[in-house]
Amino acid sequence: MIQKYRKAFNENFTEERYNHFLKKLGEGFPEIPFRVAETPIFIPDALKKKLIAAGEEIISLIKQDNFKELTQKAIPKEWNVPNEIAHPHFLTFDYGLCKDESGELTPMLIEMQGFPSLYGFQTHLAKTYKKEFDLDEKLSPYFNGLDETSYFELFKRVIIGEHRPQEVALMDIDAPNQKTAIDFFVTAKHLGIKILALEEISKEGNQLFYEENGQKIKLKRIYNRLIFDEIGENTDIFKNSFDPREELDIEWITHPNWFYRISKYTMPFLKSEFVPETRFLNTIENIPTDLENYVLKPLFSFAGMGVIIDVTEADIIAIKDPENWILQRKVTYEPVIKAPDAGVKAEIRMMYLWPEGEEPQLCINLGRLSRGKMIGVRYNADFDWVGGSVGLMEK
C-alpha cells in the first residue's frame, strides 16, 4: 500500500529469505503452529488516520456512562465474575480493508474485544520482519510515538502494576501448549512474569498460590488468557484449581466480564461510516430480501466459529436463540496487498492498552492476510502470502 516499500519488498523477496525469517522468528521459542505471512503490511498515512478516527468513535461509546447498562445482557449468567473493574485493560478492534464509494481505501469494523491479543508477539514479529528483510529503519508497528522500550514500559505497568513480577502470572487452561503460546513466552521474557496452566494454581481460602522450587508463592494478579467461551459446560476443569466465578482475593488483568461487554454484542450500538449495519437478530421484524449481502454471527463464539457466510432464510428461521445472534451487512474486502501472483485481502487489528485510572492508548497492531472466504489463519492454511502479519508505518 505504501508503493515504494511494496515494490522493493516484492523485488527482493525469495522463498529462501522467507524460510530464514521463519527460522529466526521461532528461534528460542516453541514451534509456531499458525501460519505467518510472507510480508508485513505497509500502512499509508491516510489509512492510519482513518484507523485512528474509527477507534476514537468506538471508544467514545465505551466511555459513555450508560455503557455497562447497555451491555449487561452480554454477560452470560453462568459466567458472570464478581468484582468487575471500571474499564478493561485491553481494547482490540478488527477492521477489514475496503474501498469506499469514491475508491479510497477505508477500514470497516469486523470484530471487537475487551480482551488481550498478541501484545508480546507482535513486537517480536515486527522486529524480525524489519531485520531479516532489511526494511527501512523508520518503519514502525507502534503508535503515539512509542518504540519497543516505551511500549514494554507501558505494557509492564498495565500487567504488573505495583506488584513484583513473581506475584503476577499469565494464565490459560494449558498455557504452554496453546496455539498462541509464543506470545506467552515473548511476554514472559520481557515482563518476567510466570506462565501458568490453570491446574498449576491452587486455592486456599480465597487466595491463589503456585509453587516454584518447593516454595509456595501467593498470586496477586492474573493476566487472564482463558476464554470462557471455549470452556462451555466443561467446568470440571476447575476442580483441581479454582473457579474464577468465586469471590477471590485476586486482581484480574483484564476482568473476564469485559470479554463479553466489548464484543459483537457492542456492534449494534455503533453508528459510524467505519461500522457495517449490524442488528440483533431478535430485533429484525422482516428478513432482508438480499441476504447474500449479509453474514450471520453468533454473539458467543471465538475465532470465527459458527459464522454463516452464505445466509439463507432457512438459516435464520432455524435459529432457536435469536437474541444471541447478529445479522451484519457483509464487508467487501479489497485485495490491496500485492503478492507476486495476485492481490491479497487484509485485516488490521488495532490494539490499545488502558492503564487503570488513565486513558486508553493505541499502541500496536496485528495484520492478517487472506485469499479465502474468511480471514482467520485457520481458513487459509492451503495458500501462500496469507496468515498472521503486522502493519508497519513511517514514523
Tens-place pLDDT, residues 164-222: 999 999 999 999 889 999 999 999 999 999 999 999 999 999 999 999 999 999 999 99
Give the Cα separation of 160 and 152 in Å (integer). Answer: 11
Would 24 be classed as within a structural domain? Answer: yes
- Buried residues in 209-240 as b, exposed as e (16+ CB within 10 A): ebeeeeeebebbbbbbbbebbebeeeeeebee
**What is the predicted pLDDT for the residue at 231?**
80
Q: Tell me how far the alpha carbon of residue 249 is from its chain's centroid.
A: 27
Based on the structure, what is the number of domains in the chain? 1
Would 188 be classed as within a structural domain? Answer: yes
Phi, psi of 221 (to 5 degrees): -140, 145
Residue 140 lies in domain: 3-276+331-394
Instruction: For the beta carbon of residue 173, count every other beta carbon within 10 angstroms.
Output: 17
Nine-digit cell string for 379 = 481458513
Phi, psi of 330 (to 5 degrees): -65, 145
What type of residue sits at position 174? D
**What is the predicted pLDDT for the residue at 306?**
85
What type of residue sits at position 166? Q
Would 288 be classed as within a structural domain? Answer: no
Q: CB of 120 within 8 A of CB of 225? A: no
**What is the predicted pLDDT for the residue at 173?**
92
* Residue 272, CA distances (Å) to 38, 107, 186, 199 in order: 33, 11, 36, 44
Give the Cα separation of 15 and 365 in Å (integer). Answer: 25
**CB-count exposure of residue 204 (10 Å: 0-12, 13-18, 19+):** exposed
**What is the predicted pLDDT for the residue at 245?**
93
Would 116 be classed as within a structural domain? Answer: yes
**What is the predicted pLDDT for the residue at 300?**
75
Would 39 be classed as within a structural domain? Answer: yes
Give the Cα separation of 335 and 339 in Å (integer). Answer: 10
What is the side-by-side strand order in the sheet with 207-212? 202-204, 207-212, 215-218
Beta bridge partners of residue 350, listed in sequence order: 93, 365
Low-confidence ranges of the chain (pLDDT < 50): none
Would 162 be classed as within a structural domain? Answer: yes
Would 195 be classed as within a structural domain? Answer: yes
Would 124 be classed as within a structural domain? Answer: yes
- Buried residues in 277-299 as b, exposed as e (16+ CB within 10 A): ebbbbeeeeeebeebeebbbbbb
Largest pairwise CA distance in the chain:
65
List of residues 6+ apart from 267 with CB closer than 8 A = 109, 112, 275, 278, 326, 328
Instruction: For the beta carbon of residue 132, count every other beta carbon within 10 angstroms.
Output: 16
Estimate the crossing angle of helix 148-159 against helix 181-191, to 10 degrees: 90
Nine-digit cell string for 275 = 461500522
